[in-house]
Each structure stands twice: as C-alpha cells, then as structure tokens.
Structure 1
C-alpha cells in the first residue's frame, strides 16, 4: 500500500552556502530578464536596432533591459516576445545564465514514503512551471505504491532502468522487465509494484494536461471576499 511521502534532501542541500547562493544576482528579476533577452536576441542574430524595429520597443529601452537597469512592463515584454516568437515566460527561465541548469544528485530534493520503501526524485527544475515532469522512482522489493490520479488528459510514461515493475491499471496488469516502457492515461486508478527481490529503479515522465483559460476561475469563496461593486462599477454579464 502507498504511504505518506515526506520531503527530504540529500547531502548538504540546506546548508548556509546554499542559502547564500540563492540570494545572489541569479535571483534578481532584472538580471534574469536581461540575460534571457540578450541570449534570445543573440540566438536569432538580431541587433538591438533590428529587434527595436521588429518589436516597436525603442533601442534605448532594450539596452536598459539587457543591462539589468530596467524591468520592462508586461506590455513591453509581450511586444518583444512576439518579435522573438517566444512566450513571455521565456524571459524568466533561470537556466539561461549558462544555457543549462545543473541539478546535482546530492542536492536534489526527494519525496520518500514514511517506511522508506518508495522515493521520487525530481530530475527537472521544480521552481519553474513545466508541461512535462521527469522523476526517478525507487521501489523496494515486494512494495506496492498506489499512484495519484491526475487531471484528465494527463499522460504518464514509465521506463524501467533496473529490476522489474508490475503496473496495475484498473483490473489489468502489465509486467515490465529492465528496459521495458509503458504509456497510459494518468487520470485512472493505477498502482506500481516491485515483484522482484531487488530494488527497482524507474524513470517517470508525466505530460500534464493543458488547462483551458476558462477553467482558471476564482473560487466562489474568494469572490465573496471581494469588496462589493459600486452602482457605477462595471459588472460581468450573468
């Protein structure tokens, strides 16, 4: 049966040096936007003048953004993003500083069950929104872990790296050997069982369902807490 998961960190992930690194210029909004803009412009071999003409944003403003002397408004970012053919979120990616983000194994947080027989380690930057999640799973011999059902449209891909794995989906079971893979819709009941006598190591890729904007509606309780609209205030049609 599945057991509650607890967040743990290997090595010295919580040491003072790690905290100091988190407070450096790497976390500065101006710095992130500036580095990303410079990188995206360079990748497209655009000069400041060329990007200014394509986006309608002045060369002086673009130069200030790249040098981290100014944080552009959302309107300006949207214009530049459209000219570069990227999303606005591309300006906030932290791995842009070096072109990649190193995730040391000894510093990566792991979710571990209370009995220690199941663990999941993220292999992607969890601090950024992701359409896909990538985890390493470790399952002790003869242990069964009940999966968490995800939103409709979510797809899960499992690849067995070491050992064997039995995947139960509803009333159907599929045994996977080392190197085998399986893909299934993750909005249905499923469970993972290690039938072997050695630890199983599995890589899991989850493709999250896209949520239409109309689904992103505030809860009724939140709406009730808002101040009452005045008589002349605009109201949404019923």
Structure 2
C-alpha cells in the first residue's frame, strides 16, 4: 500500500524544493474530525528525533536514505512543518519502522470504537485511491489493518515497503489487478492475495465500477 495515509496529518508544509514536490505530490490527507487529536505535527517530530538518534543517523544521512531533503526533515523534527503522508512513509521505510511508529501519540487499553463518520482517510493525488486505517494510532505495531477503495479505472503505484513487509489483500467488491514486481494477478470479489510488499507493486481497477478491498499489512519483527 502507498500509504496510505491515518490521524490528522495536515497537508501544509514548508516550501519544498522541486525534488520534494515530486516526492510528495502523490498523497494528501483529509482533515480530521474535530473530536480527533487536532495535530500530530509535534508527535511526528518527537518520534522522528527519537528514532533517528537511536539509530545514530544524522539528518544528512537520513536525507540520503529516505529521499527527503534535510531541510524538510529538520522542519518536521522541530514541529514546524506537518509532513505529507508520502514523506512519513519515506521516513518510516528509511528508519525500518512501521508507519505507526512515527504517528503514535498515546497508550490505551480496553475496547476502542472507531466511528465510520469520523474516519481519517488517505487520498491519492488524483482522488481515485483512498485508504482508511481500521486501527488507532496509539502505539507502534507490527500489524496494521486498512480499508482500501479504488475508483473505476483507477491505478495506484506503491513504492516498496521496509524489508520483510507482507500484504494480505481480499477484494470485497469489484475487480482488482495487482502487479507485484511485474507479476500480475487478477482478483475478483472474494479473492485474496498474499505477497511480499518490499518490492514495487501496483493496484489497478480494470472495471467501470469502484472496488473495495481490505488489507492486513504485517511488518518483519527483525526490522532494525
């Protein structure tokens, strides 16, 4: 999954370089419901600083391995810029951590109800691909659960996830073609596909009706 894209990441950011604009344009983030935590900018910054220093990485080194400019990383760490979802994914991949490790901001126990009308959804730049997280961003986790929607004739290209990441997708409605490192699989309603997602992969809806999928993403326990 691209990212997908899940709790109140704003899309505003510092003025990006031309290179950053190319990296960031594929994802935007829907404004959170007023009852949701208003802004995770500071949380992402604190988590980024902690994870980066724990790994002994300078901003320059992290910039090289993530493809995100040093200026952008510095602004994110200081809580001065709310990163796009694509930037968060690139940083997570470079650090070898789940997406949730960067956005986690609290601990909770007991049942948690996630209301559909308060859902936080990632939306691709063309608006044809959306991702809704079906889990709270309360702690880093090795398994994540998403609802994915792909509009008629829509295509979504996904970059490789951290080494050892697995995607398990089931099509709940419609038809979806999934290409994994160049190998194509056509899934009808009820079909499921499991694959290693640390390679380039593509979701394509060949039909004239929207498709609905559910995704379980599992990260490797051996990730650094």
> Which TM-score applies when normalising by structure 1?
0.52
Whether the 8 Å CA contact 2:148–2:215 is kept in 1: the answer is yes
The CA distance in 2 between the partners of 1:19 and 1:179, in whole Å, is 35
Secondary structure at the aligned position of 1:133 is classed as strand
Match of 2:219 in 1: 208
Secondary structure at the aligned position of 1:124 is classed as coil
Whether the 8 Å CA contact 1:9–1:107 is kept in 2: the answer is no
Match of 1:142 in 2: 153
| Moved beyond 4 Å, runs of 4+ | 17-20
State the Cα distance separating 1:93 from its structure 2 match.
Answer: 3.9
State the Cα distance separating 1:188 from its structure 2 match.
Answer: 1.1
Match of 2:56 in 1: none
Match of 2:174 in 1: 163
Match of 1:195 in 2: 206
Match status 1:7 vs 2:18: no
Match of 2:184 in 1: 173
Q: What are the superposed Cα offsets for residues 126-181 of structure 1, whole Å, 9 maximum, x if unpaired? A: 23211101111110111110112111111110000100000111221110000100
- Structure with greater helix share of residues: 1
Whether the 8 Å CA contact 2:107–2:138 is kept in 1: the answer is no
Structure 1 unaligned residues grouped into runs of 5+ = 21-91, 216-238
Give the structure with higher Rg (CA): 1
The CA distance in 2 between the partners of 1:187 and 1:165, in whole Å, is 20
The CA distance in 2 between the partners of 1:187 and 1:117, in whole Å, is 23
Report the number of matched residues. 134
- Higher RCO (CA-CA < 8 Å; seq separation 6+): 2
The CA distance in 2 between the partners of 1:150 and 1:189, in whole Å, is 8
Q: Root-mean-square deviation (CA), in Å?
A: 2.1
